[in-house]
Chains A and B, each alone.
Chain A
Amino acid sequence: MEKILLKNLGRPGFHTIDSCLVNGGYNGLTEAFKHAPESIIQMVKDSGLRGRGGAGFPTGLKWSFIPKDPTIQKYLCCNADEGEPGTFKDRGIMENDPHLLIEGMIIASYAIGASVSYIYIRGEFVFGTRRLEAAIKEAYEKGFLGKNILGSGFSHDMYIHRGFGAYICGEETALLESIEGYRGQPRKKPPFPALSGLYGKPTVINNVETLACVPAIIEKGPKWFSSIGPEKSPGPKIFCVSGHVKKPGLYELPLGTTMRDLIFDHCGGMLNEGRGLKAVIPGGVSAPMLNAHELDTPLDFDSLAAKGSMLGSGAVVVMDESTCMVKTALIINRFFSHESCGKCTPCRDGTPWLTNILKRIEYGNGRPGDVELLESLCTNIFGRTFCPLGDGAVMALRGALKNFRDEFQHHIDHKRCMVS
């Protein structure tokens, strides 16, 4: 398959606007200006593009919620606060092909009528920020940003806003709060950002990868895009593979590729031939893990949802038989309790409690009934939190408990680990 999103990966120097223009960069934008904004939205709708940030919401539909009134200020925010452990796809795009993102953002802004857009970039991405800053400067120089872009009459300004290291700011409304200068905590919905977002104005928030798909859709047509992968989740997707495989890294593949193909064909199989696969987290640590029997699951939104997991950000974490699941659960849970923003009760006070219990079990101080306590606390947290952060923590733990309950029990009963 022709690479769209990662075409510059491993090609140093191709990130500049000159090489970008030679290789067909900004053709999508030129094409887009030949259409009315509504038809751009329609094209994205027709392409079937679904949000790549994790929730998989249809992108065209999201854009169509923005009020059409031209007198209202609207904003586009690019969510580049890539914080999900195991995920590094947006970084790959921003560092290697920043103009692809910028082009996608200009097209999206044109479609929704936003005169200003923000890239909310994770604070740790210093290199990516510099690349983007340079790229935005280049785009201004070439007239892709600023007043009256390419003579279309559309004007647009783009700013970078660096985050300060809070996972919660990847949640779209917390991201808006953070851009506005407030404490990064999610806002209540409704009103949804499409009606009242940044500074109370209609706002679209899209993931980097989603926006990076847009130029190709406009240039090659929605039909081409929807022909890739399964009907309901079409298009290319970047998988970030890490863990016990021979060749971890970024893989741009059509959605619907099976887990087995990804691990054993593309990534060269397990790292240590002697150890079999034990579990895979298919979409970032919020996604419940799958066990070795579920390897033939196609990696797309609906197939994974049917298995009780989710595609999420496409961060595939592969674990072999030497992995202790209690320790894995502890590490994942500790992340969530550390990143809980503190707004709502179940997440703020529930996730640290889970961490404490897991710590106890891992360190050999588990008590009888702890597994049941964990399950009960999961029930009390799940679905009752303000935003999906707490749900993510619970889903991850539930996945581990569902598949490897005996390992937890072994820890409690024998005060030692089952696998090492």
Chain B
Amino acid sequence: MSTVKINGKEVTVKDGTLILDAARDAGFEIPTFCYQADLMGVGSCRMCLVEIEGQKKLQPSCITPVLHGMSIHTETPTVMSARASMLEFLLANHALDCPVCDKGGECELQDMVYKYGPHKGRHAEPKFKFQEKDYVLSPVIIKNSNRCVQCMKCVRVCGEVVGANVLGALGRGDHQEETSFLRSFLDCDQDGNCIEVCPVGCFMRLPYRYKTRPWDLKGKDTVCPYCATGCRMVIEERDGIVIRAKAQLGVGLNSETLCARGRFGFDFINSPERLTKPLVKRFGTLEPASWEEALGVIKDNFIAAGKNIGGIASARLTDEELYLFQKLFRSMLGSPNIDSSARWAPEAVEGFIKATGMDEGGASAFDCMESDTVLITGTHLSDENPVTDYIVRRISAGRAMNLVIASPRAMKLDSSASQIVRHNAAAEGHLLDAVTLSVYGGNVDKLRDVPGINRIKDARQDDLAGKAGCSADDIKAIARKLTGEGSVGLFAGTEFLRYPGSIPGLALLKNALKALGKKVTIIPVLDRANQRGAWEMGVHPGFGPGYSPVKERGMGCADMLEAASSGELQALYVVQSDIVAMHPDENFVRGALSGLKFLVVQDCFMSETARLANVVLPASSFAEKDGILTNQEGRAQIIRKLLPPPVKAKRDIDIIRAVGETFDRSFGPKNPVLVLDEIRKEVGMYGEVSLAFNNKRNVDNKLDLKEALVKPAGLAEGLNASGLETKLEPKTDEHPFLLATGNHLFHSGRLSRKSPTLIGLLKNAIVEISAEDASALGLMNGDKVRIKGRYYEAYATLHTRSGSKGGVAFIAENYDDVPVNRFFRRGEGVPRVSITKA
């Protein structure tokens, strides 16, 4: 600890603390442009100069650490004049076109000049101009370099946090311009973090351009509705139209960063395709109806169906809505058949929950990154959960640690890894088994009694490594890192749910490492904003709220569809889930749904599933409701209502309650706040969880609010994780590629397809294979190719990725022009496809 005097006030801070941080903690404001807590200090803007007694020159406080006994002055006339002079220099060549600048009103340069002067200009020379007109840098970025203050935050965030490294500086001196290589059009992650960190109006959102002035916007705190990273953001509207989503420095685990989906994908809210009225099918066509009529039809048909009814709710709804949904089914309709995913088998979910220890309470990703060895497996983190990727990149760059990435497909994060393992698709289990076996080999005594070890202890290392498709040396290296000094962190993604046969391998590795006395932190990496919340609210056929045991085990999505085809299940209530598009084997789903007597779909859009419905109810988006979402770490976070639902649409919680009320007027609780109270009472995990979040622009950048993590459930015996297996179609010469799926960087499920900006970034389907496979087939990046499976064939653009494992073709689940689930056939395992030039 060092004790220093700041403006006469004595403070004691940790050794190595920056003067800037120490001063801000002590309550003294120091202005900065180039400083940002997440980025490496450069000390170039010179706004933060302070006076240190005994030193001739003023020192930049953002890169100078305190030394014991220092006496620092931050508000002397010299310091103040230095600040004013820096601003004078910055203004010398600044465009000063504030009246037409998008940033005007929330510009840091404006604020600082207002505060620290100079209020009179002395620069009478012609200004240097980079260009006369703003130029478009990417589909979402427009740039005006004349306003630049050369803080380099854009370049640094692009390199250090996003890892895209597409920005740099051209020119020298006052002609230095931060931009893309020779100002070329950017083909990057399009996440706009460069826009967010820009203190002035140099990098700007193209979709937001000239739409409004910041003071005309009304904003509300919310959480991004796409993946389960749980990025906090603010969405802002003007005249009922949401026109901006922004992240805030030091708020939420994401701080100022978002991905393209979060920053630009909100505009589905404003879509003209939104459903605004209830629809009821009359003589084969869906026609507008009143709420009373729609609810009446629902009541009649639900009564007719009796207990032969099922429900599927989207994992993007709020915890309150999901809780009420399961309550509606379990206590009102008397049916145990509910599920929150059209994609995952219920047993796989239970196995995954157990293996990742979700029932043991929330675990912070920052804690996980504090581990000495971190293994990322079962997820294409850079595309699926981009902001988690940023967190991993940023933290791993700043400390000595092992970062092991095991994935069939190459990803952006690979450059941060200390070891990369490319294994076969769907072979996560074999890989982890091989690693565990290697660990077991050196610790037979300690691991003899680990449950499940018998499954692999007699296996041959070569066999397992061969099945995983990687070398025995790679396996040994991972095992060595995991068993080395210190703690272990695991990021385990949705591939485990997609290929449930891998789950025992994950569970075994965790147990083995724990048996060695290691601290193991596991973060499940999920792809729907409230997937974890949906499970914890008990929207699952095998367990109730808080993973509590259920009296009667219900049917999951696949079983319900099976039962529907056989006529056993009569009615289905689907909330914001597009099962036709998402469940493997589209034909099967269509057949099953046509076997239903009655289908209610509640959605924001006329989805494929809604087209088949008897009644369609207009629902609301995340911007139109209050509630909480639980992210993948188990962090409960509030979203706030910004707008009313459009026209006659209603909040999902109101619709679910109204459906319940048709049976019993007392069904409730009646509003989200009361539902949350009931959740807190009924679900132990949420009893104490803190929703308080200092959502102010804070400067200390403390991102990890541990009180927001859910508590351990403490009763997870009920989880049934048996019968987990991965079925693959046998490999044939005709169909050499195993079809992998997931989300594209610019899309999430089908929701993002309604966002004009995201569609602008990527409209048509692409199929990704490794560059080596492509060259063997004589194909090139950008070729139009035919993808042929046993049951379906489609055309898409080829994207090649170098460094990926061969034999894997990846098609994201997002495209409506190539619905990837049509390649699947129920009961036949993961399909294989061939790729030829179209």
Contact = CB atoms under 8 A, between A and B. Distances in A.
Contacts of A356: 125
A343 interface: yes
Interface residues of B, number: 36
A328 B293 CA distance: 90
A5 to B, nearest CB: 33
B393 to A, nearest CB: 19
A386 B43 contact: yes
Interface in A291-349: 337-346, 348-349
A360 to B, nearest CB: 8
A65 interface: no
B174 A342 contact: yes
B122 A342 contact: no
A337 B49 contact: no
Q: By CB atoms of chain A within 10 A, which of B42, B89, B124, B176 has the most? A: B89
A166 interface: yes
Contacts of A58: none
A341 B173 contact: yes
A352 to B, nearest CB: 5
B174 A183 contact: no
B150 interface: yes
B596 interface: no
Interface in A327-382: 337-346, 348-353, 356-357, 360, 367, 373, 380
Contacts of B128: 352
A188 interface: yes
Interface stretch (B56-64, B96-104, B450-458): B56-64
Contacts of B42: 188, 343
Nearest to B128: A352
A350 B125 contact: no
A383 interface: yes
Given A342-B174, A353-B89, A188 B125 contact: no
A352 B174 contact: yes
A414 interface: no
Nearest to B171: A342
Interface in B163-210: 168-169, 171-176
A137 B189 CA distance: 47
Contact of A350 (B44, B89, B169, B176): B89
Given A183-B168, A188-B42, A386-B46, A340 B174 contact: yes
Given A353-B89, A380-B89, A345 B46 contact: yes
Contacts of A357: 125
Interface in A173-191: 183, 188
A384 interface: yes
B88 A380 contact: yes
Contacts of B47: 345
Nearest to A355: B125
A357 B124 CA distance: 9
Interface in A367-419: 367, 373, 380, 383-386
Contact of A342 (B58, B81, B169): B169
B123 A166 contact: no
Interface string B220-236: 00000000000000000
B172 A383 contact: no
A349 B92 contact: yes
Contact of B58 (A338, A367, A384): A384
B58 A383 contact: yes
A343 B125 CA distance: 22
Contacts of A350: 89, 92
B484 interface: no
A72 to B, nearest CB: 16
Interface in B8-54: 41-47, 49
B437 interface: no
B70 interface: no
Given A343-B44, A344-B44, A367-B124, 5 more contacts: A338-B173, A348-B174, A353-B89, A380-B81, A384-B82
26 contacts: A188-B63, A338-B173, A339-B172, A340-B172, A340-B173, A341-B176, A342-B150, A342-B172, A342-B175, A343-B150, A345-B46, A348-B89, A348-B174, A348-B176, A349-B89, A350-B92, A352-B93, A352-B128, A353-B89, A353-B125, A356-B125, A373-B122, A380-B89, A384-B85, A386-B43, A386-B44
